[in-house]
Structure formats: structure tokens, C-alpha cells
Structure 1
């Protein structure tokens, strides 16, 4: 019996965008165009590389999903605990897959640091250890920083309540000095776990957007925002009165057409912190 592999997140999204483009409805005019062949090929290469880098970091399903496809509520005991902290190493191996592809294409040079030598525009709220810096060769393109949030040899913490709890997460930064734009997972407890597919899609979308040239981050006193072709978000930020940083990505490859950005979040509409997915009404 031959099992058909489940479609990747980008195959599903590309199919939806193609369907919306054919439909022509004005209600979905901001959904964005279908993915280009070049973008699909890039993601396929990352998936192929991940088949090698991720051999020891298997995917997992949403633990709240029953065999019948029904979602259950999180249990009280699932909060502030992680029964399998090592599973989050999958972020490291996915980042390694991206690194292999981007350097193999000749788009970037790579440096690896222990984390202490990286000066950030705004200090991330988690400790950083092994840090990979990808510097694109194309003038104007922004560097990509991938920082692990625990030592390579760590086993992780099952109890997440203490200040010294370790999660095998990843901080993504962009620019030089880098601006931290994502820490994945944002929690790490079993209650918030929705499975590896959602988490890897979030990481892929962010890295892809930086490489594609469809990313913008803004930091100002009390305000931070970012937007890609997939979503836009904004909310309260560092209160430093001297903070004034805007990072705008450019494509890493010559002749590459970036995807259109989502509309920016208006600071006046940002309480509570806002997030808008591409195509939402």
C-alpha cells in the first residue's frame, strides 16, 4: 500500500491562492498572488534539506487532537510543564536546513557565534547560545540571525515555572545590528502545543519573508510592529525614548520579485496588541 504524503503548508496555501485568484472575488483582493515557481522551488529545497538535518527531530501532532479529529481543551496540569522538551530541537534542525540551502545557492555567507558576541538593537528577553548569522551577498539585503535559546547539550526543562527553565527554542533576528522579531516557541508548555506543523510554518514564513524581501519591522518608543506578505502585527514595545529603528528587507537574489506586504498596523488601533492575517476580513 502506497501512502500519499500530506501536502506541505505552502502547497496548501498556494492551492488556496490559485483558487482565490481564479474566483476573482473582491472580498479576497488582499489575499496576495499565488506563490511563484521560484519561491516554491526554494521551499522544496528546504524540505529536502530538512529530510537530512531533521532525522533526529521527528514531527509531532497536536496532542489535543483526538483520533477522530476533534480538539479537546487543555488540561490544568498541562500548563507550565513540558513532558518532552527535547522535541523543540526541531527548530534548530529546520534552521540548519534553511542555512544549507541559502549558502548552497550562493546567496549568503555564514558565521557561527556562541551568542555572546552578537550585539542586538534590542536585547531579546531570553538567553542566547549558539547563534548562526547569515549575511546575504546581495547589496541592500538584510542579514538573518538564528539564535538558539539553550546550550546544544542541554536536555531542556520539564517544569517551566522556574526562572532557569530551558526550552530548545530559536530567536530570529533581522538586520545589523539585529532586531529580534520572533522567539519560537513563544511558550513551550504542553497546554499551548498545537503540533510541530504550525510551529514550522510560522518559522518558515518568517525566514522566507526576510529572504524574499517581503518583511518590515518598526521599533519606536512604546511601540513595535512587523509585517510580511502573510500577516501584520503590532503592539506595545520597549519604552526607550531613543529607540527609532526600521528594518526593511530586500530580496537576497538578483531578479527576485518580493511578495506584496500586508497593510501596516496603525498604532492607534493597537490596544490590545493586534495581528492581522493576510486575507482576513
Structure 2
């Protein structure tokens, strides 16, 4: 088992679970700037249900490969370390890895502009730290097409199940690792790159002074 096998299993599962959530092209493939009006609207919020389908594909891939067990849960505040900006109030799926040293993956499904399950919160740990809200922005100006949207979603999930994620809740901010670099929510208050690297290193070494989420890869 490696990450490429798991990604392939997810793509195969998506061919079935994503049959009713079609993809779409990047509306500005040449990098053209959006119209000002595009920042104020989303013509088709239902298209983002493709993210829920992708989450289900990950659920199928992770359970059918024997890496995790699925738990279907009712939405509840205590499932989260901190409540998401928009709490997912439809349903929750927690994937509990078979390896005790790994951390659970959580998907929370909610409403977006009146569309059910067009909004997905990705979390890690128990209770779960919020790792990402998807879509990050639903306005037409930020539309990048479904291929890049799903690629970004896959990278977020893989960061968790591969054991690469480190999430730290510090005094004035939260921060976690990602393939694109550290993701910060809050004020860093003069923290340098070296300081942040030390935060992550302390978590990996099991000596962080802050609440943190970190675990082994699932396979």
C-alpha cells in the first residue's frame, strides 16, 4: 500500500458515487481576471455537491482497503475541538483508522446557499481539529473548475491519512502543515519560519506545550 494506490482506489470509487455530481471546466482556463460581478454571486451552488461525493469516495476507498472503519454520527458540538465557522449540521462521518497510532479523519456535511451537502468540513483527531472548509469560497470569481477543486480536496485528505499532518493550537493562532506550506488561522505575533518549524518538530517529538494533532500514516 502507498499513496498512489489509495488515490487510485478513491478515483475508482468516485466513478460510482460521483455519477450524479458531474464536474465542470475552469471558467477562465487562460487565467483571465473575473468580472467584478462574479465576486458577488454563485450561479450554481449545487455543483459543489461533488465534494460530498468525493468524501464518500474516500470513505469507500479507506474502508474497502481495510485501513479504517466508518462511523456515521449525528452532528454535535463535542465532535470538534473548535466549532467550524459554519457548523456542518446534516451529518458527520468519522473514519477510525485500524492503526492505533493514527488519527481519525472526519467529514462534516452541511448546507451551502440552500443546497444540502454542498459544504464539507474536513477534520482530524478526536475531537476533531478543523483542517479545511470546502469550498473555501463559493463565489464565481474563485471558481477553478472541478478538476483542481478535487485535486485540492484529495491533497487535504491525503495529508491526514499519510501521517504528514501536524496541527497546533497555540495561544493566538492555530496552524497546520499542508503540501503547500503552513496554514495559519489567527495572528502569528512575530513568529519566524524557524519558530514554526520548531512547533511542528516538538509535536512530532511528543514534547509540544500546545494542544496538537499528529499521528502515524494509516498503512
TM-score range, shorter chain: 0.7 to 0.9
Q: State the match for 2:102 in structure 1.
A: 141
Spell out, residue by residue over 1:115-140, the C-alpha distance to the aligned partner (whole angstroms, 9 max, x if none): 13643111111021211100111111
Equivalent of 1:150 in 111, 123, 146: 111
Match of 2:149 among 179, 189, 199: 199
**Superimposed CA distance per residue, residues 55-82 of structure 1 (whole angstroms, 9 cap, x where no aligned partner):** 01111111123xxxx2321112111211
**Residues 29-64 of structure 1, C-alpha deviations (whole Å, 9 max, x = no match):** xxxxxxxx7221111111011000100111111112
| 1:45 counterpart residue number | 9
Cα 1:167–1:194 change in 2 (3 A) is farther
The runs of 5 or more residues in structure 2 that have no matched partner are 188-208
**What are the residue-to-residue correspondences of 1:112-261 with 2, within 5 Å?**
112-116=72-76, 118-128=78-88, 129-150=90-111, 155-156=114-115, 168-236=118-186, 244-253=210-219
Q: Distance in 1 between matches of 2:28 and 2:156?
A: 26
The answer to whether the 8 A contact 2:52-2:117 is kept is no
With normalisation by structure 2, the TM-score equals 0.83
SS state at 2:131 partner: strand
TM-score (norm 1): 0.65
Bigger relative contact order, structure 1 or 2 (CA pairs below 8 A, ≥6 apart) = 2
Query: What is the deviation of 1:175?
Result: 0.4
CA distance in 2, matches of 1:80, 1:105: 42
Shift in alpha-carbon separation, 1:155–1:124, aligned structure 2, 3 A: closer
Paired position in structure 2 for 1:62: 26
Whichever of the two has the greater Rg, that structure is 1
The question of whether the paired residues in 2 share the 8 Å contact of 1:215 and 1:229 is answered with: no
Alignment of 1:8-87 (within 5 A): 38-65=2-29, 70-87=30-47
Cα contact 1:173–1:181 (8 A) shared by 2: yes
What is the RMSD computed on CA atoms of the aligned residues? 2.2
**C-alpha distance after superposition, 1:258-279 (max 9, x if no partner):** xxxxxxxxxxxxxxxxxxxxxx
Q: Which has the higher strand share?
A: 2
Following TM superposition, the consecutive aligned residue runs of length 4 or more in structure 1 with deviations greater than 6 angstroms are none
Asked whether the equivalents of residues 141 and 252 of structure 1 are also in contact (C-alpha less than 8 Å), the reply is yes
